[in-house]
Chain A
């Protein structure tokens, strides 16, 4: 048995240990880790999440029980002692750096100390305007400090972006209220009378007052051990290693941020992980080398998207740049081209990193460069154009840079392991388990592989119906059948499930079969549709009345307020121009709605896969720039399509001019006023995979606009997959938006008459579901918590916070400083009186 001592238990150290364990090397090697920090390795890349609620456990890299199960010994809080002695000889770079109030931003302890100090501080300064410095600035800002960033280079993020990019970045950061001082060399920390930080002094220019300073000026390799051990050290620090990550003593390897590998210190985790694998290979007797890494990065700093890839600074001979810079929106894009404009070499994107994936892959040579690559820079892309094409990636493409997983590895794992779900692919290959940035590509690859293997399951709704949603929709429409039982008997098997039942219910509703809860339909609906309200985490429901176009009368506001007060509901303005009332008990829903309907309000269908809102701006009526009455059109559209059931929810908006205050380009359909009429955009969404809507038709009059939207929505409802919103639907539509135009505008399929008739039927048959429910005592019977008593759910308990109720959490107990509990019932679990 040989012994491997790992000095330092950070991200890269852990990757080495984990790789060795995975490869079964623990039978040859006894592994002993000495950690300076008091805890095992954690996810430093996501360190800032510690400030937004992530715990040590959330950040931990080793699964619980990892060390016990694998026999790896870890000495926590135990840096190697000889080295420790030498440690004291290392002096800081700037003189007064160790004053109280000065920090670095590296470990959980640092963050704890920063938070404690920030409590009594008002102004914070970050020294260093690189990637880490800006992340620290964001943290200070979120702790409520007036925040300044100081950078000695003439621009922010000098390692990743050029002047134009830095300018756009700076403008955006300053909009957040963070001040930036570039080309300023801090030389001294000025103490106050108590010896704590008071100000920062510069080579030139006035002092900057500061109650707290975070130093984040470049990566300082922790090479002290190397120095003590007499290993070769680089001129500017870092333990020198060869291609095998061996130091000048062949029994000692150095990996991660302490190593000077391939001529530089790599401040990123990806290259560190590569080095860990190189060492693991060699310990297993295999040759392996580290010769450098791709430093392409895409990140969000202070909410600003920044990406830099390949030869970002055009250092290749003959390189040319195409720059698109928009000083109004502060978007900057630079594309570096070689070979007379035929090859993408690299680039910089600030403010909008949309085309990053595709461009970075072109720069790596994994995707062919199209004839006019610069077109990829211009704002809007045809969906389906560049975003697809994962099938074209070269097999060696590194899809997941955090875990170095290639396309070939993912495809092989899917094919040979018979994997069908994303979770399985993640577990088998580790792709997507780091920063998560590659997950969409991994998911697409899975789909491509499954299609190749002829696995048809993906397309079938579920085990009960061997059809896609579209096929089933056609069956329902053509057969004219109006019951799930009938459909199951003729076309399905088993009892159905929570996938096919609501899907069929939605089809029946789209095809105009009236009230969604009569007869058998009631048993098909998800709890939200069943109670016409949205289930919340404690088993209560939320209530959202429709507020068409966001316009609401004062008397209705008063009524909402009164209802909220009477039933003690938590009240919040939603992200979609309406008001949500939370915490309603099932048995109160009818009375709540009685009151709302009296005030002229109606169901907002927040519970349904249906039209949600048509958001509006105030438009021409009030706004000095508006060119059309956007509010009236929004109301008209919302009333026309209210209650329309669809494969997924539908959101829309109307803006009164190009300033686009209603965010119409982020909606399933959006309308923007022009001098001559309306521009129609389709297939956008926010949410997890935001996508801009595509301009579909220009300068339409209102009547044509509505006709197109009618056709568009009905065509989507007929043909989309289950829970597929319009954007992914369009991305998959062969022929893309041109094809869609031919169907909707030119009636290429000859279905427009049908589509319009379907919509007319919907409009004619619309009824407020709540009004219908209240009118029928049978329908009201379901609004009970228990069949055998009128008691409320004893498990629902609220506490008060900021003057409103909220569900009690397990962590509330015994928390004296926390909100005062108001006992509404005794918890069923705790009472447990019958045991």
Chain B
């Protein structure tokens, strides 16, 4: 993990609980989700692989069994927020990104 570059994105307070928001980092679109009650932030690629639109951050967050998921707002496929895997079509996997919250600031780990 040493080659990770932590990019500050926003204050935790700017993220609506249980919803997503998108960030643009070095030309890459990343979707962040603030989960409650853990107050944990998870991040995946913002592009929906089924529609190719950059909309993942606008999906509804929830759970299927034990998995924390987001439903793409376009055609409603679910993606496991930790594994990036689509529940409906496990061959489709989106990129996931490490995150951390330090002193109220959300940071995303990207490889330089």
Contacts and interface: CB of A to CB of B under 8 A. Distances in A.
Interface of A: 463-464, 494-498, 500-502, 520, 522-527, 530-531, 535, 537-539, 782, 785-789, 791, 793-796, 828-829, 831-834
Contacts of A525: 60
A829 B51 CA distance: 13
Interface string B46-61: 0100011111001111
Contacts of B27: 794, 828, 831-834
A787 B22 contact: yes
17 contacts: A494-B63, A495-B63, A497-B71, A498-B59, A498-B78, A501-B62, A523-B61, A525-B60, A537-B74, A787-B10, A789-B23, A793-B29, A794-B24, A795-B47, A828-B29, A828-B54, A829-B52
Given A495-B68, A497-B69, 8 more contacts: A520-B17, A523-B17, A535-B55, A786-B21, A786-B29, A788-B23, A832-B27, A832-B28
Contact of B19 (A523, A538, A795, A834): A523
Interface string B62-81: 11110011010110101000
B28 A834 contact: yes
B55 A527 contact: yes
Contacts of A788: 9-10, 23-25
B60 A535 contact: no
A537 B51 contact: yes
B47 A498 contact: no
B26 interface: yes
Contacts of A535: 55, 58, 73-74
Nearest to A502: B60
A337 B47 CA distance: 61
A644 B67 CA distance: 34
A795 B68 CA distance: 27
Contacts of B69: 497
Contacts of B14: 787
A539 B53 CA distance: 5
A128 to B, nearest CB: 43
A154 B65 CA distance: 66
B16 A538 contact: no
Contacts of A828: 27-29, 47, 54
A520 B18 CA distance: 8
A498 B58 contact: no
Nearest 10 Cβ contacts at the A-B interface: A497-B62, A498-B71, A539-B53, A495-B63, A523-B18, A527-B73, A498-B60, A834-B26, A527-B58, A833-B27
B75 to A, nearest CB: 10
Nearest to A535: B73
B5 to A, nearest CB: 10
Given A495-B61, A795-B29, A522 B52 contact: no
A94 B68 CA distance: 70
Contacts of B74: 535, 537
Report which residue of B24, B25, B28, B69 has the largest number of chain A beta carbons within 10 angstroms of its beta carbon: B24
Contacts of A793: 29, 54
A81 B10 CA distance: 74
Contacts of B94: none
B93 interface: no
